[in-house]
C-alpha cells in the first residue's frame, strides 16, 4: 500500500537532486579550476576551452604522489591489522568470556569514546620525542591504535555479546581450548563485524590530520590528509596546481569508496548508531 502522493514524491525527488548537485559542486568547481592553464586565475565554474589534463601530471610530480601513497599505505598497514586484531581479542574477552572485573576495563575504555584528539596531542608529542619516534611513521601508528581502541573494542564487544554461548560450549565439548575456539569458531563468525571495523579504521587513519601534522614534519611520512595540508602550504598560491593536487590526493579514497560503497555506507551507519 502506498499512501505517498505523487506530488510528494516529486518534491522529494527534486529536493534530493538539489542536494546531490550541492554535494557535487565543490568537486566540479575544483575540477574546472584544475583544468585551466597554469598561471591563470581561474573563475568559478567554467569549462576551459582547452582543458589542461597535463596539470594532473604536474601535480603528481609536485605532490610527490608516489611517496605519499606509499607512506599512507604503510601507516594504514601499521594501524588497521593490529588495531582490528587486538580489538577483536578484547571484544571476545569482554563480550564472550566475560572476564571478572571486565566491566571496569570496559568502563575505562568508554571514557575515551568522546575524547577529542586535541586533548592528548600535546603529551603525545613529548612522549614520542622521549621515545625517539618523532618524525617517524610510528609516531602516527602507535597513538592511533590506542585512540581507536575505545570505539573498536566497543564495536567488537557488541558483536561477541550476541553470539550464543552454546556455540562455544559445543566447541569445548569437542576439546578445543580458548585459543582454538577464538580462531576457528568465533573469528569466522565475526567476519561481518570485523570487515566493518576494518573499513572504518582504514578511513579514519587515511584521513587523520592532526596527529600527522603535529608528530611528523616530513610530509612524505604522513597520512594522505596530512600530506594534503603540506601540499596546500606549499602550493596555496598556485590555485590550478592546488586543485589538481587535491583531487589527486583524494582520488584513492574515492576509488576505494566507490568499489566498496555498499560496505562503507553500512559500516558508517552502523558505526554511528553504535558509537
Partner 1 sequence: MTAAVGGTAGAPAGGAHQQSPVRPHRRRWGRTAGWLGWLWVLPALLMYAIFVLRPLLLTMQYSLYRWNGIGQAEWVGLTNYLTVFTDSDLLKIIGNAFVLIIFFSFVPVALGLLVASLVRRMSGGAFGTVVRTVLFLPQVIPLVAAGIAWSWLLSTDGLVNQVLRAVGLGGVTRAWLGEFDTALPSVGVIGTWVMLGLCTILLVTGMSKIDPALYEAARIDGAGPVREFFAVTLPSLRQEVGVCLTVTIIAALASFDIVYISTSGGPGIQTTVPGLEIYRLAFSQRQVGLASALAVVLMVLVLACVLPIQRLTREDKA
Sites for partner 1 among residues 151-190 (CB under 8 A): 152-154, 158-159, 161-162, 164-167, 169-172, 178, 182, 185, 188-190
The C-alpha cell at 50 is 582547452
The CA distance from 56 to 38, in Å, is 11
216 touching partner 1, by CB under 8 A: no
93 touching partner 1, by CB under 8 A: yes
The CA distance from 275 to 273, in Å, is 6
Taking CA 83 as the corner, what is the angle to CA 143 and CA 187, rounded to the nearest 5 degrees?
170
Taking CA 75 as the corner, what is the angle to CA 74 and CA 81, rounded to the nearest 5 degrees?
90
Within residues 107-126, the interface with partner 1 by CB under 8 A covers: 108-110, 112-126
Within residues 195-214, the interface with partner 1 by CB under 8 A covers: 196, 203, 206-207, 209-210, 213-214
Would you say the C-alpha torsion 230, 234, 237, 240 has a positive or negative sign?
negative
232 touching partner 1, by CB under 8 A: yes
The torsion angle over the Cα atoms of residues 258, 138, 221 and 247, rounded to 10 degrees, is 20
Please, what is the minimum distance in Å from the beta carbon of residue 237 to partner 1? Answer: 12
- The residue from 65, 90, 133, 241 that contacts partner 1 (CB under 8 A) is 90
Within residues 236-255, the interface with partner 1 by CB under 8 A covers: 239, 242-243, 246, 249-250, 253-254
- The residue from 80, 225, 241, 244 that contacts partner 1 (CB under 8 A) is 225
Amino acid at each position: 500500500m502506498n499512501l505517498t502522493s505523487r506530488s510528494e514524491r516529486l518534491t522529494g525527488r527534486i529536493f534530493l537532486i538539489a542536494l546531490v548537485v550541492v554535494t557535487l559542486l565543490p568537486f566540479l568547481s575544483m575540477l574546472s579550476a584544475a583544468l585551466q592553464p597554469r598561471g591563470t586565475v581561474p573563475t568559478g565554474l567554467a569549462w576551459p576551452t582547452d582543458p589542461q589534463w597535463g596539470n594532473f601530471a604536474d601535480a603528481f610530480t609536485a605532490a610527490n604522489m608516489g611517496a605519499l601513497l606509499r607512506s599512507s599505505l604503510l601507516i594504514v598497514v601499521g594501524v588497521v591489522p593490529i588495531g582490528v586484531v587486538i580489538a577483536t581479542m578484547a571484544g571476545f574477552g569482554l563480550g564472550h568470556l566475560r572476564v571478572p572485573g571486565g566491566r571496569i576495563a570496559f568502563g575505562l575504555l568508554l571514557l575515551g569514546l568522546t575524547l577529542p584528539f586535541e586533548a592528548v596531542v600535546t603529551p603525545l608529542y613529548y612522549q614520542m620525542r622521549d621515545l625517539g619516534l618523532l618524525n617517524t611513521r610510528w609516531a602516527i601508528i602507535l597513538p592511533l591504535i590506542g585512540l581507536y581502541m575505545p570505539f573498536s573494542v566497543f564495536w567488537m564487544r557488541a558483536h561477541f555479546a550476541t553470539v550464543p554461548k552454546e556455540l562455544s560450549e559445543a566447541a569445548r565439548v569437542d576439546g578445543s581450548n580458548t585459543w582454538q575456539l577464538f580462531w576457528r569458531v568465533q573469528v569466522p563468525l565475526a567476519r561481518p563485524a570485523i570487515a566493518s571495523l576494518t573499513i572504518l579504521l582504514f578511513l579514519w587513519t587515511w584521513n587523520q590530520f592532526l596527529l600527522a601534522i603535529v608528530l611528523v614534519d616530513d610530509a612524505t611520512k604522513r597520512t594522505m590528509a596530512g600530506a594534503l595540508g603540506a601540499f596546500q602550504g606549499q602550493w596555496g598560491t598556485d590555485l590550478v596546481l592546488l586543485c589538481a593536487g587535491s583531487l589527486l590526493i583524494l582520488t584513492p579514497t574515492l576509488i576505494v569508496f566507490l568499489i566498496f560503497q555498499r560496505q562503507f555506507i553500512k559500516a558508517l551507519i552502523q558505526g554511528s548508531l553504535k558509537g
